[in-house]
A and B are shown apart, each in its own frame.
Chain A
Amino acid sequence: MSAAVTVEKKKAAARVAQNANGHKRYRGLHARLTGAVRKPASAVENTLKTGTAGEPVTPAPAVENPANAAEKRQVSFVQLLVFELRVRDAMTSPPITAAATDSLRSIQHLMKAHRISGVPILANDVLVGIVSIEDIINALDGGHINEPAEQWMCRKIVTLRDHFSLVRAVAEFDRHGYGRFPVLDANNRLVGVITRGDITVCLMHQLERRAEEAVAKEATLVATRAADEKAHRVVINTDVKSGDFESAGKLSQRIREVLRARGVAPEILRRAAIIAYEAETNIIIHSLGGRIHTSIDSIKVRIKATDRGPGIENVDLAMQEGWSTAGPLARELGFGAGMGLPNIKRCADEFVIQSELGGGTRLQAAVFLQKAGTTL
């Protein structure tokens, strides 16, 4: 079965469980992984299709509603996990094994004690066969339960490698119909046993872990925001694209709005806005793109502009008024006067610039809101 078909079916399964809560959404996938749906793949697909058509709750939506979109995202997240996780993440290790000379009776006890339904058989640390619960039942029927495993075990063994993705493991389960696979490492050493149940448990644990991580991240975010609010701080992060002259000025407009609402003097407000504007146009004209981090609290406005290069060859020259490397388009639009950096320096109460040719440029400027600075 191709991966594409698997993905399609998972989507279909998720659609059936549309209104169920989070974990129930994966009912279809769960059933497939645990082997609860013992039907050929095509039959599963047909059942789901019939189910979809017969249920008025889940008509095939012509227009996507937000709920469906969210659902798709969640399903693709599980798919992501299935691709990301390896057999070694899900397998039971170390495996419960028996020796080739052990009697089937002792293996039966082993299965009972560990509640497993198959045991790999080793001879001199090499995997030579496997005894399943079916072999035990046959032995009880045939009266050879006390004979050694090597006489009755299955010798035709399909194994998985520990570095295989879980998606491959699921495909192998579908292809062979076995309940378990012994898992070998790169040195052909038996390192574990994997069942469909192991995969489900592993996925559920991962989902839980990711959910916990997301919750923790959210909590940090909320805490940061609360701290910002307490410090009367507004943080604006702006991505600036190279050559995007049309967007220039939006950041400084926002800064002006915030400062004006706080009753900051027009002269101070103007200086902060000019710094932001010049920093923004510098990134637009000269760099491959970058980012401006602006933080406004009750004491000062801090503007940090960083770009991804190509860097300034000679920072001292760049700081000289009239010196510019701007291209013809920028000059046509009235930029490239060679006054950007000197303007920023003049408007700022604090100013630092670091640049490296081949690297990026980092510019930090601050304007104090209380103290009157240079007049513009």
Chain B
Amino acid sequence: MKLKTATKLPALLTCVEARPLTDLAEVELRGCYISDLLSDVLANAQPGVLWVTIHVHRNVVSVASMKDITAVLFTCGRKPEPDIIAEAAEKGIMLLSTTLTTYETAGKLWKAGLR
């Protein structure tokens, strides 16, 4: 029961103090993938996961959309431009931003039960 709550957006993201950039729906995450290489995400990320990256470029939204990634979490306090956020919202991809580093984020998410 505790695990199930912890893998749901947005409850899960309180542990990394993430600020939502788009509207958040209460969705179960199927896992997490961390990479800053777009082709790597295209090749190896599973659909329905949370993607953690430092990239805030438009192509992140394209790749996330292509892989049916549920949400993207930007680390190190990075935020995409408003038009990119709007594009993500239109494609149904949730965006969040945290001031933590990718390493800290990974640790906290793992600890919270996102496997």
Query: Contact mask B42-82 → A, CB, 8 Å, 1/0?
Result: 11000100000101011111110111100000000000000
Whether A248 contacts B68 by the Cβ 8 Å rule is: no
A261-291 interface (Cβ within 8 A of B): 266, 270, 273-274, 277-278, 281
Whether A337 contacts B47 by the Cβ 8 Å rule is: no
Whether B42 contacts A249 by the Cβ 8 Å rule is: no
| In the complex, A334 has a CB within 8 A of chain B | yes
Whether B39 contacts A278 by the Cβ 8 Å rule is: yes
Partner pick for A334 among B43, B53, B61, B67, CB 8 A cutoff: B53
> Given contacts A333-B59, A334-B55, are A277 and B42 in contact (CB under 8 A)?
yes
Q: CA of A333 to CA of B40 in the docked complex: distance in angstroms? A: 13
- CB of B6 to closest CB in A, whole Å: 27
Task: Using CB atoms, name the residue of chain B closest to A342.
Answer: B43
| In the complex, A340 has a CB within 8 A of chain B | yes
Chain A residue numbers with a CB within 8 Å of B47 are 266, 270
Whether B63 contacts A277 by the Cβ 8 Å rule is: yes
| In the complex, B37 has a CB within 8 A of chain A | yes
Q: CA of A337 to CA of B63 in the docked complex: distance in angstroms? A: 14
Whether A253 contacts B68 by the Cβ 8 Å rule is: no
> Given contacts A270-B66, A334-B36, A334-B37, are A343 and B43 in contact (CB under 8 A)?
yes
Whether A337 contacts B57 by the Cβ 8 Å rule is: no
Chain A residue numbers with a CB within 8 Å of B40 are 337, 339
Task: Using CB atoms, name the residue of chain B closest to A324.
Answer: B39
Whether B62 contacts A252 by the Cβ 8 Å rule is: yes
- CB of B14 to closest CB in A, whole Å: 27
Task: Using CB atoms, name the residue of chain B closest to A333.
Answer: B57
Count class of interface residues, chain B: 20 to 34
Q: CA of A4 to CA of B67 in the docked complex: distance in angstroms? A: 58
The interface centre, meaning the residue of B55, B65, B66 with most chain A CB atoms within 10 A of its CB, is B66
- CB of B41 to closest CB in A, whole Å: 8
Chain B residue numbers with a CB within 8 Å of A342 are 43
Task: Using CB atoms, name the residue of chain A closest to B87.
Answer: A249
- CB of B94 to closest CB in A, whole Å: 18
| In the complex, B112 has a CB within 8 A of chain A | no
| In the complex, B38 has a CB within 8 A of chain A | yes
| In the complex, A376 has a CB within 8 A of chain B | yes
Q: CA of A372 to CA of B42 in the docked complex: distance in angstroms? A: 18
Q: CA of A249 to CA of B67 in the docked complex: distance in angstroms? A: 12
Other A-B contacts than A273-B66, A333-B59, A343-B39, 16 sampled, CB-CB below 8 A, are A245-B58, A248-B58, A253-B65, A266-B47, A270-B66, A274-B42, A278-B42, A281-B59, A334-B36, A334-B38, A335-B39, A335-B59, A336-B37, A337-B37, A338-B39, A376-B43
3 smallest beta-carbon distances between A and B, as pairs: A249-B62, A339-B39, A337-B37
